[in-house]
Amino acid sequence: MKKVCLLGASGNIGEQSLDIFENDPASFLLVGISIGHRINKLDGILQRFPSIKYLTVQEKEDCETIKKSHPNLTVFYGDEGLIELIEKCDADIIENALVGFVGLRPSIKALEERKILCLANKESLVVGGEFINDLLSQGKGKLYPIDSEHVGVAKCLSKVNRDDVDAIIITGSGGAFRRRERSELENVTAKEALAHPTWNMGEKITIDCATMMNKGFEVLEAYYLFSWPLEKIEVVLHDESMVHAALRMKDGTYVADVSKPDMHGPIAYALYEGNVEYEVKKTNSLEELGPYHFHKFDPERYPAVDMCKDALKRGGLSLTILNAADEEADRLFLSGKIKFLQIEEICCWAEKKLPKIKKPSLDDIVEIDSSTRILIKERFE
């Protein structure tokens, strides 16, 4: 049995992870969780998992209230509380299902503590991929991805010789506006953007699906996770979200991961450290995999993907600025303060306004993340 600390227990990935822990109590003991602002979910989670002894919430006031009502819990608060949670709960597995930049330091802390890190937090690799890979190269901890695309790539790579692979293919639905031209996006609403055609996810990631910023982030994650050349990671649009990733082999054939769009499987893959039964499909073409529809990716229709690649090539603080700008722009769009296409515009604008440091420290990254957010709030709110 492994002890687990789940960061982001009240979110979409977190809730599906709780299902897995509940269904296999012989393998997992949940000892710590974070729930951010969603304290209304705490009692329900504690009823299901009385093994929880450590908790982090976002606000100090909530922390004090919970300490009084749940004296058997050790409660922390804020971003520092996430670090304290990892330090104190003595878990074997840290599952990071947090959304946004706030997940970076907990991921680094988990590896520094030599934990198994099950990672659903994209930003950890997008912003801190070099730091994380450096820790892994030192033998500090282990990392298993949770994103369905990267789990799919890992499964496929386990069944082939890497030298025989020509390219990694990451599929994407195209989001809520995949049937619309860019000229039709000027006045789309947040409600429309949140109507994802195949997945049920949180608001932030669903907006990133509509811009396909999330797919750009996933390209960067694949670059770091699999040490793969950036120019050999491709995006293909796929309507049904049944094929999560594929490898194009040098002989022209494909190896693909095919399953229903349900995150329980990818989460389980990570939690069980890949020790689950799975198969991959070998085919002469993606179209042979089923009655599915695939489309060529158009970078002019979805410029956010190339924005991510270009930021990686520039290096330094570019990815930190891009990520922070995207988070703030998504928030502004969801609150009705900017239009949809301004999300990309703000990301480009922020990059030109902020300082450049070629080899930033973690402190530099934290500082520029904050500066980017302040700059955008001052300009657009």
Spell out the per-residue pLDDT of the chain, length 381, in tens.
999 999 999 999 999 999 999 999 999 999 999 999 999 999 999 999 999 999 999 999 999 999 999 999 999 999 999 999 999 999 999 999 999 999 999 999 999 999 999 999 999 999 999 999 999 999 999 999 999 999 999 999 999 999 999 999 999 999 889 999 999 999 999 999 998 877 677 899 899 999 999 999 999 999 999 999 999 999 999 999 999 999 999 999 999 999 998 999 999 999 999 999 999 999 999 999 999 999 999 999 999 999 999 999 999 999 999 999 999 999 999 999 999 999 999 999 998 888 778 889 999 999 999 999 999 999 998
User: Among the three residues 99, 130, 145, which one is the final residue of a domain in this structure?
Assistant: 145
Q: Alpha helices, DSSP H only, in 159-263? A: 190-193, 203-211, 213-225
Could you give the angle at which helices 362-380 and 122-137 cross, rounded to 10 degrees? 170
* In a shared domain, residues 212 and 121: no
Same domain, 135 and 155: no
The domain boundary residue, chosen from 145, 173, 203: 145
* Helix locations, the chain, DSSP H: 12-23, 42-48, 60-69, 78-88, 104-112, 122-137, 148-158, 190-193, 203-211, 213-225, 264-271, 304-314, 318-334, 342-353, 362-380
**Residue 24 structural domain:** 2-145
For residues 254-281, b (16+ Cβ closer than 10 Å) or e, as one string? bbbbbbebebebbbbbbbbeeeeebebb
* CATH at residue 120: 3.40.50.720
Looking at the fold, whether 104 and 139 belong to one and the same domain comes out as yes
Q: Which two tokens stand for residue 84?
A: 């304290």
The predicted structure's pLDDT at residue 351? 87
153 and 76 belong to one structural domain: no
Same domain as 343, residue 215: no
Model pLDDT, residue 339: 96
Last residue of a domain, one of 145, 170, 201: 145
- The answer to whether 173 and 179 have CB atoms below 8 angstroms apart is no
Residues 119 and 160 in one domain: no
242 and 324 share a domain? no
Structure tokens at 197: 């055609």
What DSSP state is assigned to residue 285? S
β-bridge pairing 233-238 and 294-296: antiparallel
| CB 177, CB 194: distance < 8 Å | no
pLDDT in tens, 224-249: 999 999 999 999 999 999 999 999 99
301 part of a folded domain: no
Question: What does the alpha-carbon distance between residue 12 and residue 6 come to, in Å, rounded to a whole number?
Answer: 12
Q: Which positions ≥6 away from 343 have C-beta within 8 Å? A: 207, 211, 213, 326, 329, 330, 333
Tell me: the pLDDT tens digits for 15-45? 999 999 999 999 999 999 999 999 999 999 9
Task: Write down the pLDDT at residue 209.
Answer: 93
Pair (283, 360) in one structural domain: no
Q: Are residues 192 and 258 in the same domain?
A: yes
Residue 336's CATH number: 1.10.1740.10
What is the predicted pLDDT for the residue at 197?
78
183 lies in the same domain as 248: yes
236 within domain boundaries: yes
Q: Tell me the whole-structure pTM to 2 decimals.
A: 0.94
Residue 357's pLDDT is 83
* Number of domains the chain is built from: 3
Inter-axis angle of helices 122-137 and 104-112, to 10 degrees? Answer: 20
* Same structural domain, 155 and 137: no
Q: Does residue 310 sit within a domain?
A: no
Same domain, 166 and 263: yes
